[in-house]
Amino acid sequence: MRRFVTAAFACLLIAVPAFAERASPAEPETLTVSAGGTPREAFLYPPDVATGPRPVVLIFHGGGGGAEGMARKSARLTRTLTAASYAVVYMNGSTKRRTEKLRTWNAVHCCAYAAKAKINDAAYADAVIDALDARLDIDRSRIFLVGHSNGAMLSYRIAGQMQTTPRAIAQISGAIFADQPDVPDRTSIFMYHAVDDEVLSYDGNPEDRAERWRTAPHVGFIKAEAKLAGLKECGPPVASVFNGGTTQTERVCPGGSSLIAVTSPSGGHEWLSHPPGYDIEGAISAFFEQQR
């Protein structure tokens, strides 16, 4: 059965990128919500086809970025998902200044203003989902979180804190910490990291470039995958190797969930990374399509 799941994922990975040739996404709609008494914004790209309950993807930028910049970098991913009838929302972190950039998320041990101010980003995610529910017919059983760097750290932590449990989280160049809370049984995980990432190191180097933003060391990728597998009580990994040296393991976990870990020999800390022989946009889309 595990081999079938991996094969199905590979087939979806090949099939999904056909959406990428469509025109650029339309201008987003601005959602304004109240979280903890503070007004906050998010930017919605509605699904191309809005018949019936639509799945939702919340995308969290990296530390020091912002929702608008993240959306500009992610046009292909937005096109792919909205063409497949997902509502795509770019979430906006917190900052002392009213600027587009320099925004962070409260992942407890990182980063900067949001962590120091103890911003309740789970409440923000809940408020955005409620606002979407009033705006669209959404499928609360298929809420997905995508995060990069600090945004990935956040998604790992809030998966078990949100009022609506996410069906899956997809993390690019992120990390967990030693006190990572439990991840709900039904929540699948896709995690990706490049070995040559010098910002948030693959092996958990406490002296990498992200050191000044953290208050505790992060867990290296291999140990993080094992820790998450233990928290979720997943089965043994099934490995695949792609052209270019990118490797993937997949575990079947209780609650109908899975844990997929992808290692690339190169790609750095970039969003979106382009590992050799592996399509990140297609992989994320295929992973979400599995979660039914």
Phi, psi for 22 (deg, rounded to 5): -70, 165
288 token code pair: 């979400």
Indicate if the pLDDT at residue 2 is higher than 90. Answer: no
pLDDT in tens, 85-103: 999 999 999 998 877 789 9
The residue count for the chain? 292
Cross-strand bridge partners of residue 91: 42, 60
Q: Which residue has the higher pLDDT, 6 or 259?
A: 259
Q: Which pLDDT score, from 0 to 100, does residue 49 have?
A: 84
Overall average pLDDT of the 162-183 stretch? 98
Overall average pLDDT of the 100-111 stretch? 94
The DSSP code sequence of 132-175 is HHHHS-EEEEEEEEEEETHHHHHHHHHTTTSSS--SEEEEES--
Q: How is residue 177 annotated by DSSP?
A: B
Q: Which pLDDT score, from 0 to 100, does residue 22 have?
A: 44
The DSSP code sequence of 245-277 is S-EEEEEEEGGGEEEEEEEESS-TT-TT---TT
pLDDT in tens, 21-70: 445 677 899 999 999 888 999 999 999 987 789 999 999 999 999 999 99
pLDDT above 70 covers a percentage of the chain that reads: 91
Q: Which pLDDT score, from 0 to 100, does residue 215 have?
A: 95
Domains along the chain?
2-290 (3.40.50.1820)
Arithmetic mean of pLDDT over the chain: 91
Place 9 in a pLDDT band, splitting at 50, 70 and 90. low
Q: Which pLDDT score, from 0 to 100, does residue 239 have?
A: 97
Q: Which pLDDT score, from 0 to 100, does residue 4 have?
A: 35
Q: Which pLDDT score, from 0 to 100, does residue 100 have?
A: 77
Q: Lowest mean pLDDT: which of 7-11, 214-218, 220-224?
A: 7-11
Overall average pLDDT of the 181-192 stretch? 97
What is the signed CA dihedral for 177, 182, 183, 184, rounded to 10 degrees?
A: -170
Give the whole-angstrom CA distance, residue 235 versus residue 233.
Answer: 7
pTM of the model: 0.92
Indicate if the pLDDT at residue 20 is higher than 90. Answer: no
177 token code pair: 């910490």
Place 16 in a pLDDT band, splitting at 50, 70 and 90. very low
Q: Which amino acid is at 121?
A: D
